[in-house]
Amino acid sequence: MRTCCHTPAKLILTGEHAVLFGSPALSMAVNFFTQCEMTYTPPTLPAELDFNIELCDYQIKHRYSFSEWQHHIIDIQSRYALYEKNALAIQAVCRTPMDLVLLSLYFFHTHHPLKKGHWSIQIQSKIPSGKGLGSSASIIISLLHSLFVHHQQPIIEEDLLTLAQKIESFQHGQSSGLDTTTIFKGGLIRFQQGKPIEPLAMQNFHGWLIDTGKPQSTTGQVVSHVHKHFHHHHLIWQAFKTASIQIEQAWQSANAIGLKEAITENEQLLENIGVVPQRVQAFIKRINRLPNKAAKLCGAGSITGNQAGVILCLSHQPPTALCEEFEYALLPLTLNEQGSHCEVAF
């Protein structure tokens, strides 16, 4: 049996960082894809479990026996335990891109034992890594979705997303579940911890993705930095919550002026917590001075260097000249409404 799973990227309209402190977040799935091809071959005697995994974008290919896979999992879990004791940085937990794949297989195995036999897995992605587009979450969802289908398990959304959130925490430290939920479901959603997910209408959406370059900080490093300097009850999180609500209300009512004001306020709050480098701040301020344009950082940002991942710009016309001046890549943004999609070929 062979499956081919296509899983989109995600972009946060509002709520990055603040979602971990109870604020609502608006997040959309967008048309950059991870493709996961998975083939299962029944075992010959004696029945064993092994994996042949290829990560095309990293030119990594390796065969794992059951025992080698288990040894890797024990090592990763040991490093995560050290992270939880503040004895290791989060970026040292998953040392290679392969670790995330091995963890995904393991957490599914705890949910439902993997069928013994040979598993061939090939992953390639058009989602830029480390840019705030949910590349890790997309890989996790593509693997879990494929495994649920292969094992003919009913895809209970809560079960799959709970597993995905646990896995993503090994990569980023504390996962809210926002990325994995958006990517699995597709469309535009309102996400708030402890509350039901709400799908939202897209309105008349014209957006552009502006790539400032890969941040020098990892998502885990930035999240840890923010948690260290802004405790759970800091007043800034109430300001984030207010900005998120204003963005949602302006979006729902198609209030362009209100949306621009709220996005500008949200961007200022991100600058206040120190995740927007100075050069990126200067670019965004230039955008937000223009009529009928609104821009903000999306994703975790960075606490070092001049790059911060991607900026969302809401505008009918692209800010081409300004992007050329700053040497930033500019891409049209297309909503993905389908979410993760898995095809089966026997």
In whole angstroms, what is the distance from residue 253 CA to residue 247 CA? 10
**In one letter, which amino acid is 265?**
E
Query: What is the chain's mean pLDDT, rounded?
Result: 93
In whole angstroms, what is the distance from residue 33 CA to residue 336 CA? 10
Task: Sketch the domain layout of the chain as residue ranges.
Answer: 2-199+335-345, 205-332
**In one letter, which amino acid is 285?**
K
pLDDT at 173 over 90: no
Select the more confidently predicted residue: 315 or 68.
68
Query: pLDDT band at 299, cuts 50/70/90?
Result: confident
Q: What is the mean pLDDT of residues 260-285?
A: 95
Query: pLDDT band at 7, cuts 50/70/90?
Result: very high
Q: What is the mean pLDDT of residues 54-69?
A: 96
In whole angstroms, what is the distance from residue 256 CA to residue 208 CA? 16
The pair of structure tokens assigned to 225 is 């930095």
CATH number belonging to the domain at 205-332, selected among 3.40.190.10, 3.30.365.10, 3.30.70.890, 3.40.50.1100: 3.30.70.890
CATH 3.30.750.200 fits 2-199+335-345, yes or no: no
For residue range 127-154, what is the model confidence (pLDDT) as tens digits? Answer: 888 787 999 999 999 999 999 999 999 9
For residue range 203-245, what is the model confidence (pLDDT) as tens digits? Answer: 777 889 999 999 999 888 898 899 889 888 899 999 999 999 9
- pLDDT value of position 53: 98
For residue range 85-101, what is the model confidence (pLDDT) as tens digits? Answer: 999 988 899 999 999 99
DSSP 102-116: HHHHHHHHHHSPPPS
In whole angstroms, what is the distance from residue 6 CA to residue 273 CA? 35
pLDDT at 346 over 80: no
* Pairing between β-strand 117-125 and β-strand 60-65 as defined by DSSP bridges: unpaired
- pLDDT value of position 202: 77
